[in-house]
């Protein structure tokens, strides 16, 4: 599982990238493989529900087994996928956000956690998530 030290490095890397890119205020959630929050940050002036969105982007990676980008792509692929997604989302207590910005964190071949970022455009959130994982010297799965 992801360590607190690595989770904090991811948060710091995400924040650094967001400021380099002059992004809107972001919120980051780093979860372990059980879906438990290990580290998080919410920049000043972040919107009220950004922590919930960041958490849901990360949690959905474990709930469905794909990045939040891939979950979004699957929903619109076929009508039965949309119905399936809505069922899974309801079963999860709405803990899944189908928008880029949530990726799985890997160490070698093993998934050790997930990170979700929310606050700017979804593609830019994902760029921050990637930068955070890379700052910790880990790899990711999109």
Helix (H) or strand (E) holding 140: strand 139-141
Of the candidate ranges 46-50, 67-71, 128-132, 137-141, the one whose mean pLDDT is the lowest: 67-71
Structure confidence at residue 94 as a pLDDT band (50, 70, 90)? confident
Contacts of 99 (CB under 8 A, 6+ apart): 53, 57, 68, 69, 72, 122, 125
Indicate the average pLDDT of the chain: 90
Bridge partner list, 114: 31, 104
List the one residue out of 121, 119, 110, 93 whose CA is nearest residue 26: 119
Inter-CA distances, 119 with 16, 50, 67, 100, 102, Å: 14, 6, 17, 11, 12
pLDDT of residue 63: 79
Number of domains in the chain: 1
- What is the pTM assigned to this prediction? 0.91
23-52 tens-digit pLDDT: 999 999 999 999 999 999 999 999 999 999
Query: 18: domain CATH number?
Result: 3.30.450.150
**Contact yes or no for 109/142 (Cβ under 8 A):** no
**Contact yes or no for 56/116 (Cβ under 8 A):** yes
For residue 136, what are the domain limits?
A: 4-141
Q: How far apart are CA 60 and CA 38, in angstroms?
A: 16
């Amino acid at each position: 599982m992801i360590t607190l030290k690595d989770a904090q490095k991811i948060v710091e890397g995400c924040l650094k990238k967001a400021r380099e890119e002059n992004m809107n205020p972001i919120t980051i959630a780093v979860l372990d493989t059980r879906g438990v929050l290990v580290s998080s940050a919410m920049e000043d002036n972040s919107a009220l529900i950004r922590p919930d969105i960041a958490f849901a982007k990360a949690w959905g990676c474990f709930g469905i087994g794909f990045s939040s980008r891939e979950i979004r792509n699957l929903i619109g692929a076929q009508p039965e996928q949309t119905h399936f997604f809505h069922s899974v989302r309801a079963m999860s207590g709405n803990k899944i956000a189908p928008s880029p910005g949530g990726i799985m964190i890997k160490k070698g071949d093993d998934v050790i956690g997930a990170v979700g970022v929310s606050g700017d455009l979804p593609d830019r959130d994902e760029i921050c998530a990637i930068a955070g994982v890379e700052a910790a010297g880990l790899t990711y799965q999109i």
